[in-house]
Structure 1
Amino acid sequence: MVTIAALPRWMPPAAAGLLLIGCGDQPKSPPISDQGGEPVECALDGAAEFAPVCTLTQISSVSGPVWVVQHPDGGFRRFVLADTASGFASADGSARARSETMEGQSVTAVENDRYRWPDRDDD
């Protein structure tokens, strides 16, 4: 515990109180399941197995709709519609998305992250 006597002489007690406030519990982000969006199966950071722990939401931008896949750790990827197997391409960043169709599912991969959803019907 820090006592006022242990603080430097130049630090007024009010400033010391502000320092101690920063030591408390920080608010946590709500779980990804509480943030809305459509569940998406993902395999993050090179994981071998897919799990429905990511969510997909659509937002508007000046250049058109953007789809955001949110990760449970707070990370995310942004996608735009494209003529690919999954129908998506990276919206930004230096890493390009790779897409393939496997057993009626579309898989989009960006670096070590993979996302899987049912094939789109363009009929």
Structure 2
Amino acid sequence: MAHCAVVDGLSRGALALLPFLALVACSGGEPQAPATAAGADHVACAVSGADNLADVCAVERDEVDGKLMLVVHHPDGAFRRFEVLTDGRGVAVADGADEAVTALRDGSLDVTVGTDRYVFPAKVRPMQDATGEPDVQRTDALQSDAN
């Protein structure tokens, strides 16, 4: 009943403003980014300096001028483009000033660019070095078993 007494005590002008005040109160604050980027294929990532990796970045594959390109979409809408290298180094940043630092770990390619980190699946294939011997330090990263 106390609720009715408060409403009864408000002027008609104040009552007319209540729906608008409710909307303002509900829409305050920053819009929240989705928890996971939209897309079919996802990789683990930690973006914007996050500490923990999670499978929340979507990966889009495309071929441009005969080169395999990856576009990694972050949950907040940002994205990063990579060129898949064929010399065994993994990937390189396709645009931007930062370079990719890569490391092969447990069948995955760990890529750090600035404050962002991504973990891509990688297939390790021995390649021949200059002497014709297998060089297990080189890999063909991000190639599917179908290739």
- CA distance, structure 2, for counterparts of residue 57 and residue 64 of structure 1: 14
What percent of counterpart residues are identical? 35
Aligned counterpart in structure 2 of residue 121 of structure 1, from 120, 124, 136: 124
Partner of 2:44: 41
- CA distance, structure 1, for counterparts of residue 110 and residue 37 of structure 2: 25
Partner of 2:58: 55
TM-score (norm 1): 0.64
Please list every run of at least 4 consecutive aligned residues from structure 1 whose deviation after the TM superposition is greater than 6 angstroms.
none
Partner of 1:3: none
Partner of 1:64: 67
- CA distance, structure 2, for counterparts of residue 60 and residue 105 of structure 1: 22
- CA distance, structure 2, for counterparts of residue 41 and residue 98 of structure 1: 16
* C-alpha RMSD over aligned residues: 2.7
| Structure 1 residues 61 and 116, CA gap change in structure 2 (3 angstroms) | same
Unaligned runs of 5+ in 2: 1-26, 127-147
| Structure 1 residues 110 and 84, CA gap change in structure 2 (3 angstroms) | farther
- CA distance, structure 2, for counterparts of residue 77 and residue 115 of structure 1: 10
| Structure 1 residues 104 and 62, CA gap change in structure 2 (3 angstroms) | closer
Q: SS in structure 1 opposite 2:98?
A: coil
Deviations 1:100-119 (A, max 9, x none): 12233211011000001222
Q: SS in structure 2 opposite 1:96?
A: coil
How many correspondences in the alignment? 95
Paired residue type of 2:73:
Q
Aligned counterpart in structure 2 of residue 91 of structure 1, from 94, 105, 119: 94
Q: Displacement, 1:81?
A: 1.4
Q: Displacement, 1:58?
A: 0.9
| Structure 1 residues 65 and 105, CA gap change in structure 2 (3 angstroms) | closer
- CA distance, structure 2, for counterparts of residue 100 and residue 34 of structure 1: 24
